């Protein structure tokens, strides 16, 4: 019998509870596995979809979007909310091309603005505020991104931030790598700021959901 408290057993069980996914999403998951490309995965993807639907989100900004997997979940929610815009940001030309191709096949490309630029600077230059900001940039850059995120997220909006358990590296006091320290500093900063209501969910690699008061 499998250990019911084994991490992989729990993640497999959570994945089994997700409704059937679109064929293109399954293809994206297969690509990520074959190429060892980090994505949020279906459990966190479903969470992002659910949160965006609950909030009625129509204006979402992604800080770091890869080849569009998280974008696809947000786009599905925005579509089901009646329309809106998701900002996809990535440096790499090939990743941007892949994302545009996948989102076109899903029928959501008109809901997405594709930026090939540095994510934080793009957020700074994009007018308005947002219902949801999703953060998945380099971990050492997490702490410095928080003041801008706070400025650009509307009151009542949500920040969703990935990799907050950082493959358990945050629990090793000997690990002082910039990425690990970035996750620690960001977690300390947001959980001690009274302007946020914060929970860290132990899904996949840890996800912070923060509500801006």
Classify residue 151 by burial, with Cβ atoms within 10 Å: 0-12, 13-18, 19+.
exposed
**Whether residue 97 has pLDDT greater than 70:** yes
Phi-psi region of 156 (alpha: psi -120 to 50; beta: other; left: phi over 0): left
Q: Which CATH number fits domain 7-212: 3.40.50.12160, 3.30.70.930, 3.40.50.1370, 3.40.50.150?
A: 3.40.50.150
Distances (CA, A) of 69 to 19, 24, 102, 161, 170: 17, 10, 9, 15, 26
Instruction: State the Cα–Cα distance between residues 84 and 145, nearest whole angstrom.
Output: 24
**Chain-centre distance of CA 106, in angstroms?**
19
**Whether residue 11 has pLDDT greater than 90:** no
Query: In this structure, what token pair is assigned to residue 12?
Result: 């497999």
pLDDT category of residue 7 using cuts at 50, 70 and 90: confident
Considering only CA atoms, which of 203, 138, 124, 205 is closest in space to residue 177?
Answer: 138
**Whether residue 197 has pLDDT greater than 90:** yes
What's this model's pTM, rounded to 2 decimal places? 0.94
Give the mean pLDDT of the chain: 95
Enumerate residues 6+ apart whose C-beta is below 8 A from 105: 24
Work out the percent of the chain whose per-residue pLDDT is above 70. Answer: 98
203: helix, strand or coil: coil
Instruction: State the Cα–Cα distance between residues 94 and 71, nearest whole angstrom.
Output: 16
Backbone angles phi, psi at 199, to 5 degrees: -130, 140
Neighbours of 140 (CB within 10 A): 16
Strands 207-212, 196-201: pairing kind: antiparallel
For tokens 């204006």, name the residue: 59
How much is the pLDDT for 8?
82
**Whether residue 10 has pLDDT greater than 90:** no
Query: In this structure, what token pair is assigned to residue 110?
Result: 């008109």
How much is the pLDDT for 103?
98
Q: How many residues does the chain have?
A: 213
**Whether residue 210 has pLDDT greater than 60:** yes
Question: pLDDT of 143-193, one tens digit each?
Answer: 999 999 999 999 999 999 999 999 999 999 999 999 999 999 999 999 999
For the chain, the domains span 7-212
**Chain-centre distance of CA 63, in angstroms?**
8
């Amino acid at each position: 019998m499998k250990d019911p408290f084994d991490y992989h057993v729990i993640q497999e069980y959570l994945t089994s509870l997700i409704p059937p996914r679109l064929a293109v999403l399954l293809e994206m998951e297969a690509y990520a596995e074959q190429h060892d490309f980090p994505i949020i995965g279906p459990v966190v993807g479903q969470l992002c979809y659910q949160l965006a639907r609950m909030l009625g989100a129509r204006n979402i900004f992604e800080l770091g979007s890869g080849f569009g997997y998280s974008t696809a979940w947000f786009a599905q929610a925005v579509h089901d909310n009646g329309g809106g815009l998701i900002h996809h940001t990535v440096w790499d030309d090939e990743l941007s091309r892949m994302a545009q191709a996948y989102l076109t096949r899903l029928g959501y490309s008109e809901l997405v603005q594709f930026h090939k630029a540095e994510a934080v600077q793009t957020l700074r230059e994009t007018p308005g505020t947002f219902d949801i900001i999703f953060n998945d940039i380099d971990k050492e850059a997490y702490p410095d991104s928080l003041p801008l995120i706070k400025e650009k997220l509307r009151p009542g909006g949500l920040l969703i931030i990935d990799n907050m358990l950082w493959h358990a590296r945050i629990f090793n006091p000997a690990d002082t790598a910039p990425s690990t320290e970035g996750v620690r500093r960001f977690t300390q900063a947001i959980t001690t700021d009274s302007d946020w209501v914060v929970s860290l969910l132990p899904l996949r690699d840890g996800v912070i959901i923060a509500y801006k008061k």
